[in-house]
Structure 1
Amino acid sequence: MADGHENAGYRRLFSGDGMTFGTGFPLTGTNRSTPSIDDELRLAAHAEAVGFDGLWARDVPTYWPKFGDAGQTFDTWPWLSHVAAHTDDIALGTSSIVLTLRHPLHVAKAAATVDRLSDGRLVLGVASGDRDPEYPAFDVDREERGALFREHVAALRTVWRDDFPELEGQWGRLDGDLDVVPTPTTETLPLLPTGHARQSHEWIAEHGDGWLFYHLPERTLESYLADWREAAGEKPFAIAVRVELADDPTADPEPLHLGFHAGIEWFREYFTRLEEYGVDHAIVGIRNDDREAALSTFADEIIDRL
C-alpha cells in the first residue's frame, strides 16, 4: 500500500495493509433525474457507519440520453461539500473530474475549497472525457483531449504548490500577479488519472498519485497491474465494479455491464482474488433495490472478512 501522500482521504484509502472499499453516488440509483437528497445522505452515512472507506461522486457536466445517465445529477463540488458536512472522516472522491471540459483555475479553487471544508478528505479522480457531444458544447477540440489533460494536470500542480505562479497554456496565462486561493490542506491534492486519459502508462505513473480504472476481465486486470507495478512501483491501483447481490448467497456469477450479479459467497472469492492481484481500492456500485441492506450485507460478508 502507498503511504507517500499526507492527504487524509488518500491515507484513508491507501495506507492500510489490505484492499479498501468505497461506493459511488447516486446511492439511491436515481441517475437520470434528481435523486432524493435525504435518501442519498442517509445512505452515505450508513456506508460510512458499516465500514466503507470512500464515497465517490462522478462528474457529468451534461445529460446525454444516448449515454444513459447523468451521474448523481448535482454538480460535483457543492455536492461533495454537502456530503462532507453530513459525514465524519470517510474519504470523498471524484470519479472523475473531466479536466478537458473545466478550466483548471476553477478546478483548483473548487477542489481546494472542498478539501478544506472536509478537513483534507478529497481525492481527485481526473479524466479526459468520453461523451462526444460535450466537446462542441464547451468549445473544446476533441482531438486535443490528450494535450489538454496534460496541461491541466500541470496547471493544477503548479497553482496548488506555488504562490503567484507564472504559467501559460491553452487555457490562459498567469503572469505572477495573481494567486489562487484557498490552497489544499496538503501541498497538492492526490490525482488519480482514470482509464487511459489519452496518456501512456509511463506518463500516468510519473504524474499521477495512483490509477483509477473500470471493471476489467481478470486476466486483463492482472496484465494491467503487472504493467502498472513495473511503471509506478507501489502507487495505488483502484477499480470500479458494479455489484448486484443475488438472493441466493451461493449463486454463480452472471455478467452485468461493468460488473456482476452473483451470490455473496462468489463476490467474497472474487474480491479476495482482486486483493491478491494487487488492487488497492474497489469502488462498489451496488445495484440492489434495497441499497441499505445490500451495503450492510457487503460490509458484513466482505469488508469485515477481508
Structure 2
Amino acid sequence: MTRNRAPDAELSTAVTRHAGFRRLFAPGEMTLGLILPLETYPTGDGIPTMQGHIDAARQAEAIGISGLWLRDIPFFDPQYGDAGQVFEPLTYIAALSTATRKIALGTAGIVLPFRDPNLLARQVATLDQLSGGRMLAGFSSGDRPREYPLFDIDFDTRAGRFRAIFDLYRRFSETQAPAYDTPHFGASPGGFDVLPKPPQGRTPALAIGRAGQDIAWIGARMEGVIVPAPAGPDLPQAVADWRAATGGIFKPYGIAGFLHLSRDRDRPFERGRAGFKTGSRSLADFMERARDAGVNHIALNPRFTTRPMADVLADLERDVLPRFPSLS
C-alpha cells in the first residue's frame, strides 16, 4: 500500500488519476458539492442536531452530488454561533467512507496551523487509502482570532506557520524516510518513515480561501483553490489570476457560500448572507455563467435555507444535477 515519492511530473499525473479529483474537476466543467452538515437550521444556537446524517449523505450520493465537504472548528464559540458539522472532520470522513461508495470526501478546510504535520500526513493518507482514493485535503489558516490563544499560538504567525506545516506534511506524505530539521516539529537525520503513503502518490491539496498566502505560492504548491465567490463582474478576472499562477497546469478554481434555496424554483439569483439566495433553476443558470467564467466547482452550505433538507436535495436533483452531473 505504500509508495516512494514520485517525480513532480509523475505526481501531477497521479493527481489526475485520483478518484475524488476526477469526480469533481475537469477543464471546462462545473460540479456541485455540499458543505456539511446536510441539515437546515437557519435559527438557533448554531449547533445542528446531526440526526439522520449518514442517511442524508447516502441520499446526496444517490442523486449525484459530486462531493461532501467538512469544516474544521476546533472550539465552539457561542458568540460566533457556528459548530459546523460538530464531528471532527477526519474522523467523520472515516465513517462516511464506509457508508458511501463514490462521492468525493474533502475538508474545507483543516486549520493547518493547529495540526501536527506527522499525524496529519498519516491521517490523510490513511483516509485516502481506505476510501478508495476519494479523499481531498482542503487546508485553511482559520478565520477566528479568538481560537489561536487557546492553542498558545500567535495569530499573526499563522501564514508562516501554514507554509512550514504544509511543506513538512508533503515531505512526510511523499518522501521515503525524509531528513528534516524544524524549529517546532523536531528533526530527523533520515531513516524513519511515515506510513502509509497516499494511494496515487499524492492526495490532492486545495487552499480553502487564501490561507494568508500569495496566490503564486498556492498555485505552485497546491492542486486547487476554493474561495468565497467574488462578485459576478470580478469572477472572470479572479479565475484568470488563478490560471496565471498555476503555470499552465490545470488546477481547479472553486467557489463556496451559504445557500438560501427558495421554494420558488425561478426566484432570481442574488447574493445573500455570505452566499446566495436563489431558486433551484436560477442556481443552475448562475452555475452555467460561473462555468463560462472558468469556475470548476461550487460548494454550498444549506444551513440558512428555511426548508427541510429533503426538499433541498429534491430541487437540486430535479433542476441542477441534470445540467451539472458528477464527472466520473
The equivalent residue for 1:12 is 23
Compute the displacement of 1:16 (Å): 6.8
The equivalent residue for 1:143 is 156
Equivalent of 2:231 in 217, 234, 244 = 217
- Report the residue type matching 1:112 in the other structure: A
The equivalent residue for 2:268 is 252
Secondary structure of the equivalent of 2:206? strand
The equivalent residue for 2:49 is 35
The equivalent residue for 2:91 is 78
Compute the displacement of 1:59 (Å): 0.7
Seen in structure 2, the aligned counterparts of structure 1 residues 4 and 109 have a Cα distance that, compared at 3 Å, is closer
The equivalent residue for 1:50 is 63
Question: How many Å separate the matches in 2 of 1:249 and 1:172?
Answer: 52
Seen in structure 2, the aligned counterparts of structure 1 residues 248 and 180 have a Cα distance that, compared at 3 Å, is same
Compute the displacement of 1:266 (Å): 1.9
Question: How many Å separate the matches in 2 of 1:195 and 1:284?
Answer: 14
Q: Comparing 291-300 with 80-89, which one deviates more in the overlay?
A: 291-300
- Report the residue type matching 1:14 in the other structure: F
User: Which structure has more RCO (C-alpha within 8 Å, separation ≥ 6)?
Assistant: 2
Contact (CA 8 Å) 1:250, 1:265: kept in 2 or not? yes
Question: How many Å separate the matches in 1 of 2:183 and 2:82?
Answer: 30
Query: Between Structure 1 and Structure 2, how many residues are aligned?
Result: 304
For residues 57-96 of structure 1, the aligned pairs below 5 Å read 57-96=70-109
The equivalent residue for 2:5 is none
Seen in structure 2, the aligned counterparts of structure 1 residues 180 and 10 have a Cα distance that, compared at 3 Å, is same
1:80-112 per-residue CA deviation (whole Å, 9 max, x = no partner) reads: 100111001110010000000111112111111
The equivalent residue for 1:199 is 213
- Runs of at least 4 residues of structure 1 off by over 4 A? none
Question: TM-score normalized by structure 2?
Answer: 0.87
1:200-249 per-residue CA deviation (whole Å, 9 max, x = no partner) reads: 11111001101111122112222211111112132110111322222222
The equivalent residue for 1:25 is 36
Contact (CA 8 Å) 2:70, 2:109: kept in 1 or not? yes
Compute the displacement of 1:253 (Å): 3.5
1:281 matched to 2:297: yes
Contact (CA 8 Å) 2:50, 2:85: kept in 1 or not? no
Question: How many Å separate the matches in 2 of 1:187 and 1:259?
Answer: 35
Compute the displacement of 1:67 (Å): 2.2
Compute the displacement of 1:136 (Å): 1.1
Equivalent of 1:293 in 295, 307, 311 = 311
Question: How many Å separate the matches in 2 of 1:254 and 1:172?
Answer: 46
Contact (CA 8 Å) 1:245, 1:263: kept in 2 or not? yes
Q: Comparing 78-87 with 249-258, which one deviates more in the overlay?
A: 249-258
Compute the displacement of 1:19 (Å): 0.5
CA RMSD of aligned residues (A): 1.9
Compute the displacement of 1:7 (Å): 2.0
Question: How many Å separate the matches in 2 of 1:3 and 1:47?
Answer: 29
- Report the residue type matching 1:132 in the other structure: P
Q: Comparing 108-117 with 162-171, which one deviates more in the overlay?
A: 162-171
Compute the displacement of 1:3 (Å): 6.8
Question: How many Å separate the matches in 2 of 1:255 and 1:21?
Answer: 18
